[in-house]
Amino acid sequence: MPGKRAAAPCVSGLGVDLAEVDRVRRLAERAPAFLKRTFTAGELAYSLKSRNRYERLAARFAVKEAVIKALDAKRLPLRDIEVENTASGRPEVRVKGMPGLRLLVSITHTSTAAFAAVIAFK
């Protein structure tokens, strides 16, 4: 057997979510605790420095919801999911307490809505 091939990754879950920018804006303005309960310090720093801050927050909220769906983990706290961007701008996700977890994520947003798709691998 010349050189064994590594097993191909297996998709274990898919999650998608759509978040309304105005809903996230209203929550942030009416209940500031929502921001601290939902987003990490890094996510807030990244989003709040931007002119389109609520679009960025809505996008990150959509990612968190999509991760929960992909992992089938309804009890996973939103703050345990962190969305960061690589140097090229590609989003990456880390989940606290789950080292080695492989997730692919895609985000898009407009001034009114944000969409995220997440694929989880075994």
SS3 of residue 109 by DSSP? strand
Q: Where are the domains of the chain?
A: 11-121
The pLDDT of residue 1: 54
pLDDT surpasses 90 at 86: yes
- Which tops the pLDDT comparison, 2 or 8? 8
Residue with token string 């890094």: 42
Beta strand pairing call for 81-85 and 91-95 = antiparallel
What sections of 3-95 are H helices per DSSP?
Answer: 21-30, 33-38, 41-48, 53-71
Assigned CATH topology for domain 11-121 = Ribosomal Protein L22; Chain A (3.90.470)
Is residue 79 within 8 Å of 37, Cβ to Cβ?
Answer: yes
CA dihedral 114, 117, 120, 121 (to 10 degrees): -140
The reported pTM is: 0.91
pLDDT surpasses 70 at 2: no
